Structure 1
């Protein structure tokens, strides 16, 4: 293959490889020539060939696998949240809220009709902005922040990273990690630096190591961490803020996705003196995933940059959608439904966790929509046994940032919608499979 690649500069060599890829001569997975071989063939300095491969890697066109060589990148299938497609099994790995516990929007829909919003008008509904500012100020009391509305939390995180980073910049992610955050970082061409999570949230040593490695952004889930369900304790949050005190310009993104449903207090990494931050709260878990709306409270500079990232594309989130969210967020009956739902998820998860602990199976803190269950044997083996009993479970391997890590011993189970009889059956099957 080295005889087909041409060029005398790094840019020319990279363009040649890209052209071969675009014409289908180099297919995904194809192994590129070693640097020394390519440099000798082209009669260029070895550093020129190294620079060409680096440009291709930063553009996401090739994958560097160390001693295994450099291969042409392809589009790989990735795990997604939600129901599995085309299965007759009972799906217990969805991470979905209970549709029966999402407020009915019918009445609110009747109240949102108004005059059309035209180009050039304010992009945020004034009523929603006022409500959101009060909501965020309760947890960011000393911060100077601005409100931005995005098309969901994942959209907010993607745009926040894009306005702050370049390809190959490093981002600190919790490990194990929320699937959407993994995909967002990888597809953006950033480098994920794993920070271990224990029963109090991100570890102090892990965050310190990530900062020493040069991360420019930290994505943290302050409560109901997905997939583990853990939340930051006050002590851990204070310790992490202490570590971040020497890095005021590292972008902190807090994804408080469970917000109104959580039974735990909000603890934050964002200190009064931190210069770059974003607290993101989606309405998806309590008003429904199809709402596709999130509120971001950010420092003023980040708000300006985020607005610029919105301007060429989406520009703004539909005012009809904003008014619908506001109508439900300010409706007493709707908020009662949300509060009841939060208590229901906590009660059902706690009851299922108690069933498992009675059989000697460890379960992490049950906050969120799912449970993180530790098993005495690799989770994939247990999941295979459960499939033969009619259950489709999700293993912890999907949430790991390290493809070379040992097999996970965890399952993430969504069980809040099971009846007591179904829960008893699943526990019996799980115990049998774990043995």
Structure 2
């Protein structure tokens, strides 16, 4: 236990918590290791037990240690086994006074479902297992609101399900896939599951950088996987000009002549940015995926994908051998939400609320010397001096954010944390910004 005390230079609660955090990060303290008792460590450091107890509370709030009652405190083991590897880094199961780690919409801003239930059929029936998977009225509405003319559209169980289905029809083990760096961690878990090699492409506020994209095409990728709006984690949105640039580069590429683009528009209805797609330049090579989870409710589990008929038909055929189709009852609910004037107004109000919350927090951070890019959607990408120290600092303030590491490819990157700014009320922006600014430094 003396070795733990020797690693602690600053003997305040924050200093003790930071030193223990570094020991865990470096592996000097491994998952399951027992920590010194509060009294023993207090005696070794020459501080009061209350000081060590405060540090232990901070580490527990950050998810680094856990208490087992009389058995003592231990370094927290890895999260639940059923959770994919990078998802584990986003485990938001711990309590916090203000949880900004989850990347989920504000439940209070989701449209109400109750008024629609009375209009649904009593029985969730279907006339045939071989019937067309999409209800016609939803299919026609999606086609009318798609960002470009499209040959075929089908409904899926959310965006990630759609991306998974497309990858299953396109890739072979060992293929390369271009992704933004940083990117959504489940994308990387999904690529790992298929034995694919992610190739990170640097980005700015308008999307993948053209020069970096052109260089990455030299690796002969099979797929380009990107987010068109409200990029998770940065909040960046692909500009029409950048989309056209990337499309032209791909069209001219000799090393990726058959690469397909998969576009994830996960926050479409609550995004304030224009609807963009590379399909305006290379329609025969683009699958556009749209989700309604952020805007209409994550538990609806519904999205859609559209693209060349040959590719979409393969997805439909493969799904018939598994889930079959997305519940037509849920499709009817979504169609109702997309056409009901009250529900449409609720989603429009949510979009404006998310925008105002983002602007308010950005303005407060700017007053404290942090220039957060304007961005879009519910997430923001905050640069910090040290990721683990920032997590510990914020946990001590009762705020939980997501670590940046799961979003990143490579080690030579600036530390960040992801903040779900969409759930920060305007009235709380000043207090939250003060805590974020202090942790960033």
How far did 1:235 drift? 2.1
Partner of 1:390: 398
Whole-angstrom CA distance in 1 between matches of 2:226 and 2:286? 11
1:176 is the counterpart of 2:182: yes
Query: Are the structure 2 counterparts of residues 394 and 268 from structure 1 closer, same or farther at C-alpha, using a change threshold of 3 Å?
Result: same
Contact 2:155/2:305 (8 A) holds in 1? yes
Contact 1:228/1:365 (8 A) holds in 2? no
Give CA deviations for 1:375-403 in whole Å, capped at 9, x if unaligned: 3x12322221111221111122120022x
Tell me, which stretches of 5 or more residues in structure 1 are unaligned?
1-73
How far did 1:130 drift? 1.0
> Secondary structure, in 3 states, of the residue corresponding to 1:255?
strand
Partner of 2:135: 125
Partner of 2:317: 308
Query: Are the structure 2 counterparts of residues 342 and 249 from structure 1 closer, same or farther at C-alpha, using a change threshold of 3 Å?
Result: same
Alignment of 1:78-117 (within 5 A): 78-79=86-87, 84-113=92-121, 116-117=125-126
Tell me, which stretches of 5 or more residues in structure 2 are unaligned?
1-81
Query: Are the structure 2 counterparts of residues 415 and 274 from structure 1 closer, same or farther at C-alpha, using a change threshold of 3 Å?
Result: closer
Partner of 2:432: 426
Query: Are the structure 2 counterparts of residues 309 and 101 from structure 1 closer, same or farther at C-alpha, using a change threshold of 3 Å?
Result: same
Whole-angstrom CA distance in 1 between matches of 2:342 and 2:249? 42
Whole-angstrom CA distance in 2 between matches of 1:297 and 1:397? 32
Q: How many residues align?
A: 355
Please list every run of at least 4 consecutive aligned residues from structure 1 whose deviation after the TM superposition is greater than 3 angstroms.
Answer: 74-77, 80-83, 271-274, 419-422
Where relative contact order (Cα < 8 A, 6+ residues apart) is larger, the structure is 2
1:282 is the counterpart of 2:288: no
How high is the TM-score relative to the length of structure 2? 0.76
Aligned Cα RMSD in Å? 2.0
Query: Are the structure 2 counterparts of residues 223 and 75 from structure 1 closer, same or farther at C-alpha, using a change threshold of 3 Å?
Result: closer
Match of 1:401 among 396, 403, 409: 409
Alignment of 1:45-84 (within 5 A): 77-79=85-87, 84=92
Whole-angstrom CA distance in 1 between matches of 2:318 and 2:373? 38
Query: Are the structure 2 counterparts of residues 394 and 186 from structure 1 closer, same or farther at C-alpha, using a change threshold of 3 Å?
Result: same
Whole-angstrom CA distance in 1 between matches of 2:251 and 2:84? 38
Partner of 1:260: 269
How far did 1:275 drift? 2.2
Contact 1:362/1:373 (8 A) holds in 2? no
How high is the TM-score relative to the length of structure 1? 0.77
Alignment of 1:347-426 (within 5 A): 347-375=356-384, 377-402=385-410, 404-406=411-413, 408-426=414-432
More displaced stretch, 281-290 vs 230-239: 230-239
